Amino acid sequence: MKTLDIKAVGRADYGKKAAKSIRREGMIPCALYGNGENVSFSVDVKEVKPLIYSPNSYVVNITIDGKTETAVMREVQFHPVREQILHIDFYRVDPAKPVAIAIPVRLTGNAEGVKIGGKLALSARKLTVKALVNELPDEIVVDVTPLKVGQTIFVGDLKFDNLTFVTPATTAVCAVRVTRATRAANQQ
């Protein structure tokens, strides 16, 4: 899995007033949870842009006042009107314990149903999986070659070594839909 290094500054002030003053300085208030210890810190907006505005998932190495912590991003809070990041929550990662994270889905192959006029539709851009940090893939690759018109691949159909899917097994990943042109051609 891809990693991203972020430099952060620890903070001792809490509350709405402290958070507003941090945002005025061009920083984002953040929190790191896990292993019984919570750490509050702030990070520069430029440091987290590759993490937020990307379809990829990352393991983050956060350096807070010289001490490095390994974590994954849990939640981002945005301003309801402006596209300003208000707060980020991170979850500390233990190399010996599995972690749940959303991983992007990439489709490969040329579906049989598309060759005869169907349309391939991706229903789930990311799937939540659980695994040890060193066994997490960069992306979940799904081969769509055997799909015919009207068929769907569900999460329960996917099998990967060392991965447990947290996303429900009944969730559709992708499907080949019947198009109007295909339906009209079959009726004649």
- Which residue type occupies 29? P
Tell me the whole-structure pTM to 2 decimals: 0.77
- Which residues fall within 8 angstroms of residue 59, CB to CB, at 6 or more apart? 1, 2, 3, 4, 70, 71, 72, 93, 133, 136
Four-residue CA torsion sign, 60, 86, 38, 64 = positive
Residue 165 CB neighbours (<10 A): 18
115 and 172 assigned to the same domain: yes
- For 65-108, how does the pLDDT look when each residue is reduced to its tens digit (9 = 90+)? 888 888 888 888 898 998 888 889 998 888 888 888 888 999 99
Domain CATH for 133: 2.170.120.20
Across 2-22, average pLDDT:
84
Q: pLDDT, tens digit, for every residue of 99-155?
A: 888 889 999 988 888 888 888 888 989 999 998 888 888 899 999 988 888 889 999
Q: Domains in the chain: how many in total?
A: 2
| Co-location of 55 and 20 in the same domain | yes
Tell me how far apart the alpha carbons of residues 51 and 74 are, in angstroms, rounded to a whole number.
Answer: 12
Specify the amino acid at residue 10. G
Out of 70, 93, 116, a domain closes at 93
Q: Is residue 75 domain-shared with residue 153, that is, in the same domain? A: no
**Which residues form the domain of 110?**
100-187
